[in-house]
């Protein structure tokens, strides 16, 4: 499989790129500053690309089987639009490669997962530190759902740098659910398994232990 990873320099994007290469896939790792990507493999292509630049997205993802959007921003009180503007550029670029799948990583608190992060996260962290980010992640998700492409939105619970356990819950019915944690490696494992054997596409599963 040929996989383009947007936001490959850190976090889930880096974990996904590393794991995909280890499992024999071809990876195009895309980041605004590709020099910081600590990967060097035979099937790796590293490119510079800003998700706000449509031409850069077209060049980066053309010819791939799937694209994974793993971008993130630091907490801010200012309005955020990188997620919504970015997904519009990615969707436009995907039109040049028919049948491409897209996986987007948002997080606990996006869409109907809001209110399932636990008292401190729901009452303090998200409303005070992450509000503008998640407002835009909601717009991002809505645009993706309305796009008509083959999409999967992955909502990890609180992320850790823990190991690849391959033992986690995939939750689609959030009734009574309070998210715990999930390692970035296990998020990567879920994404790769879904790209090979899709069972949750057109859904928004929450990943948690």
Domains of the chain (ranges; CATH) run 2-208 (3.40.50.720)
Q: What is the pLDDT of residue 40?
A: 77
- Write the DSSP symbol of residue 100: -
Return the closest-CA partner of residue 13 out of 80, 90, 105: 105
Regarding pTM above 0.85, the answer is: yes
Return the closest-CA partner of residue 197 out of 170, 173, 162, 177: 170
Place of tokens 């605004």: 32
Per residue of the chain (209 residues), give pLDDT as tens. Answer: 999 999 999 999 999 999 999 999 999 999 998 888 888 777 999 999 999 999 999 999 999 999 999 999 999 999 999 999 999 999 999 998 989 999 999 999 999 999 999 999 999 999 999 999 999 999 999 999 999 999 999 999 999 999 999 999 999 999 999 999 999 999 999 999 999 999 999 999 999 99
Q: What is the pLDDT of residue 34?
A: 84
What tokens appear for 91 in the block? Answer: 């969707």
Distances (CA, A) of 107 to 71, 153, 184: 11, 9, 12
Q: State the distance between the two ends of the chain, measured CA to CA, in whole angstroms.
A: 28
């Amino acid at each position: 499989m040929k996989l383009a990873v947007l936001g490959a320099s850190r976090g889930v994007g880096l974990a996904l790129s590393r794991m995909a290469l280890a499992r024999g896939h071809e990876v195009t790792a895309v980041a605004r500053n590709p020099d910081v990507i600590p990967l060097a493999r035979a099937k790796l292509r590293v490119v510079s690309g800003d998700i706000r630049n449509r031409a850069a997205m077209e060049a980066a993802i053309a010819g791939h089987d799937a694209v994974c959007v793993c971008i993130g921003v630091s907490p801010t009180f200012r309005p955020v639009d990188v997620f919504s503007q970015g997904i519009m550029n990615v969707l436009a670029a995907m039109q040049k490669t028919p049948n491409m799948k897209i996986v987007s990583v948002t997080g606990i608190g996006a869409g109907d997962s809001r209110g399932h992060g636990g008292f401190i996260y729901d009452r303090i962290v998200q409303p005070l530190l992450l509000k503008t980010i998640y407002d835009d992640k909601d717009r991002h998700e809505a645009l993706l759902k309305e796009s008509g492409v083959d999409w999967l939105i992955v909502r990890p619970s609180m992320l850790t740098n823990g190991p690849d356990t391959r033992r986690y819950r995939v939750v689609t019915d959030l009734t009574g659910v309070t998210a715990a944690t999930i390692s970035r490696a296990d998020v990567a494992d879920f994404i790769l398994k879904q790209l090979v054997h899709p069972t949750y596409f057109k859904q928004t599963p929450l990943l948690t232990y």
